[in-house]
Amino acid sequence: MAAPVSISRSDGRSGRRIPQILPAELSLADESGPKERTFTENVSLHGARVVTVRRWLPETRVLVAFLRNGVRSEGSVAYCQRKETGGFAIGVELSGQVQAA
């Protein structure tokens, strides 16, 4: 496992993020839309940076299912950034409502 990286950002968010690629599934929190199979770039106690093919609006409620361990957590999109390689990366603030799939 990679070493935690301490990050302090200009928007006031900070924390220890662990660069970790984990297979995941991303969908709207109410599961009304399609599910996207994807992966994380890093994770922390309170969130994750998730790669996605579409643009997400900040504050959108999402459900992230971590496929290796079957854990699902609801959260809110904090930001959406276009990636140089195509697609987007979103920061998801997890609410702590963790449940087994």
23-47, pLDDT tens digit by residue? 999 999 998 989 999 999 999 888 9
Give the global pTM. Answer: 0.80
Separation of alpha carbons 9 and 59, rounded Å = 19
- Asked if the structure places residue 6 within a domain, the reply is no
55-68, pLDDT tens digit by residue? 999 999 999 999 99
- φ, ψ of residue 16 to 5 degrees: the values are -90, 115
Domain total of the chain: 1
Return the pLDDT at 31.
Answer: 84
Domain containing 82: what range?
A: 16-100
CATH label of the domain that carries residue 60: 2.40.10.220
Return the pLDDT at 7.
Answer: 44
Between the alpha carbon of residue 46 and those of residues 1, 62, 98, the distances in Å are: 18, 14, 11
- Asked if the structure places residue 7 within a domain, the reply is no
Between the alpha carbon of residue 82 and those of residues 23, 45, 58, 61, the distances in Å are: 20, 24, 13, 19
